[in-house]
Structure 1
Amino acid sequence: MTTDQTGTIPDAEPLAAAADLGAALRELIEISVTTTVAPAEVRAAAALVREATERLSVARRPASRLPALDDVSTGRRVFNPVTGLGNALAPPLAVRREEDGVVAEVTLGVAYEGPPSFVHGGMSALFMDQLLGSAAAAAGLWGMTAHLELDYRGPLPLETRLVLRARVAEQSGRKSLITGTIALADDPDRVLVEARGVFVMPRPEKVAAYFGAITDASGRHTPPRRPGDATAIDDGH
């Protein structure tokens, strides 16, 4: 965040509002898949949600314009679907450094269900992709996912604390091999999901082709300086 001459944070209120909306929507999503109220109540709630959607839709940014609250140079991505406080799809994960890699803990509700009472396997892939990218970022190795594979050794239970870890295993030129795991927080040595990913720094011409239309919130051409979606990592300070 930037500060003005008074030392205040100009975007503190918009950021707090976005985080508040994200939290409220997460609660709504979880309730929407677990509620057993009468159909009339469900329809009444749907009408309220549509009213809120109409209020929010009067001013929108195009996908090619970065949110005003984001700062890709520092990794602040408020609406990232895994770590973004403002994104209702995100749990959200808070990623922090740990020894030679990164770690995050999360408890997933029924909204993330695949097999009854267990986490959808695709969610594991989403979270692992994010965490592997964060491990690359923590090591100063920017890039985009070129290959991702997962081994599912056991199902992940819902409403149970999970621990996710990732670290850079190999690095050569523009390519990095990154590995990660998911386990129960209470049994971290028994790996339930194992991931391996190859991350590649695109050549300059690819960066221009992928991100040439990206602008900042003011509409100024602002291609990312480090391709990928690695978000801010808590250094524990």
Structure 2
Amino acid sequence: MSVDAQPVSELPDPRNFGLPVVAEDELPEELRTLVARVHDLVDAVAHTEADTSELARASAAVHELTERLNVKRRDVGAMLERPRADGGTDYQTLTNVVSGVSNPAAVPLVLEETEDGVRSEFTLNGTYQGPPGLVHGGWIAALLDQALGSASAAAGMVGLTANLDVNYRNPTPLNAPLEITARVTGAERRKVHVSGEIRHNGEVTAEGTAIMVRLVAPS
């Protein structure tokens, strides 16, 4: 059965996918701080030249902290509930690996709505390295996928990626300011067409197009 033919009753709630919801103002600041510090830790581990005794002590400390945090945890993911400027509500996956605010592996990506879509400025450190000094192509695709999906959602058409095409135009550097933009270019029944770009110093380094499939068919 095609996605267009799938009964709406079998689809998850388009607002929160049926997951537990955490209000943005209820997210502990201590968790945000912990996420930032673990993000820095990942970068430090990837690039450290500490001696073996220091590595052993650090490993034991991280193991102890992991055990402490695992005492109480969610079995499934959750959604972050955010108020919109227009009085509505946005939902974002709390542990999203690209932009989740509770995921230390996530990129420092905060997508903001614009007149025609979404936009963000960010910088990627060596954690996201592919070729020497450059961002890994897989992360570039993931960033575009996130922005394209967010643009569709910002336009009121929440959906899932059915197709994603990425063209790599120029190398995307690490440790340099980057900009990502995305917008809806058309819609047909449950299909939403979106496009976006990543830029460095105004030059496009990668561009992507996608077809998002809305979770609920338009009335």
Same fold (TM over 0.5): yes
| Deviation at residue 11 of structure 1 after TM alignment | 7.6
Distance across 1 between alignment mates of 2:26 and 2:148: 31
Residue 159 of structure 1: aligned partner: 175
Residue 174 of structure 1: aligned partner: 190
User: How many residue pairs are counted as aligned between the two chains?
Assistant: 189
| Deviation at residue 31 of structure 1 after TM alignment | 0.7
Residue 209 of structure 1: aligned partner: none
Residue 36 of structure 2: aligned partner: 23
SS in 1 for 2:75: coil
1:74-223 equivalent positions in 2, closer than 5 A:
74-184=90-200, 187-188=201-202, 190-202=203-215
CA 1:31–1:151 in 2, change beyond 3 Å: closer, same or farther? same
1:32-111 equivalent positions in 2, closer than 5 A:
32-63=45-76, 66=78, 70-71=80-81, 74-111=90-127
Gap regions ≥5 residues in structure 1 = 1-9, 205-237
CA 1:13–1:146 in 2, change beyond 3 Å: closer, same or farther? closer
CA 1:11–1:156 in 2, change beyond 3 Å: closer, same or farther? closer
CA 1:71–1:97 in 2, change beyond 3 Å: closer, same or farther? closer
SS in 1 for 2:130: coil
| Deviation at residue 20 of structure 1 after TM alignment | 1.2
The CA RMSD measured in Å over matched residues stands at 2.0
Distance across 1 between alignment mates of 2:98 and 2:208: 17
What is the aligned-residue identity percentage?
A: 37
Do the aligned residues in 2 keep the contact of 1:18 with 1:85 (CA within 8 Å)? Answer: no
Do the aligned residues in 2 keep the contact of 1:148 with 1:197 (CA within 8 Å)? Answer: yes
- Write 1 or 2 for the structure with the bigger share of strand: 2
Distance across 2 between alignment mates of 1:195 and 1:24: 32
| Deviation at residue 200 of structure 1 after TM alignment | 0.5
Q: What is the one-letter code of the residue matched to 2:81?
A: D
Distance across 2 between alignment mates of 1:151 and 1:163: 16
Gap regions ≥5 residues in structure 2 = 1-22, 83-88
SS in 2 for 1:156: coil
CA 1:180–1:12 in 2, change beyond 3 Å: closer, same or farther? closer
Tell me the TM-score normalized by structure 2: 0.80
String of CA shifts for 1:110-166, please: whole Å, max 9, x gaps. Answer: 010000110000001111111001111111111110000100111111000100010
CA 1:14–1:141 in 2, change beyond 3 Å: closer, same or farther? closer
Which portions of structure 1, spanning 4 or more consecutive aligned residues, are displaced by more than 6 angstroms? Answer: none
Do the aligned residues in 2 keep the contact of 1:84 with 1:92 (CA within 8 Å)? Answer: no
